Structure 1
Amino acid sequence: MGGFCGYLATMAGLAAGADAAYIYEEPFNIRDLQVNVEHLTEKMKTTVQRGLVLRNERCNDNYTTDFICSLYSEEGKGVFDCRQNVLGHMQQVGGPPTALGKG
């Protein structure tokens, strides 16, 4: 979420300790993705068994959420698997948010 503003993804990445956050304001290319995948692969070979990558919805027209997830899944075979979650889809499902998770 966030459209052309990467603030939400950046703050969420900082708060959650993300390994990478792809945002509209900072263009990236395939080499950047390669470096990040290699970093995560090496990290997962240690005792740290978690990784988080965030993508702002408008960060890049070609490097979609599906593409990035597929890239990470393919390059991380045997070391880690990759799952994706689109925050906007999760937020739009239920009723009004409450502390108890009930509408």
Structure 2
Amino acid sequence: MDVSTPKNYYWYMDKEGLDYIPPSAPDIIVRSLTKENIRKFVEAFAEDDAYWMKLYFLSGDRKGVFDMDKMNKMLVDVKKTNDTEYKIHERLVS
């Protein structure tokens, strides 16, 4: 995980001649790079069985959980579920 400040985004865009930050694994944003701010974000990320820390860590890996084939299958499954729920809803309201 990368820890950064908002100013770093501007510096990066200026350096690369861009008007946006390219897609990548999420960064951790703190107001300033101090031990206290980093400690606070680590504590916040450790809440709820470290759900967000695990998600951020895994999002940087294109294998395993975030394998493109697995993600595409999950999206197909979600669409099927949504389509089924929509059809059920339509029958109930008509």
Q: TM-score, normalised by structure 1?
A: 0.26
**Structure exhibiting the larger radius of gyration computed from Cα positions:** 2
Higher helix share: 2
Give the alignment's TM-score, normalised by structure 2. Answer: 0.28
Which has the higher relative contact order, 1 or 2, with Cα contacts under 8 A spaced 6 or more apart?
Answer: 1
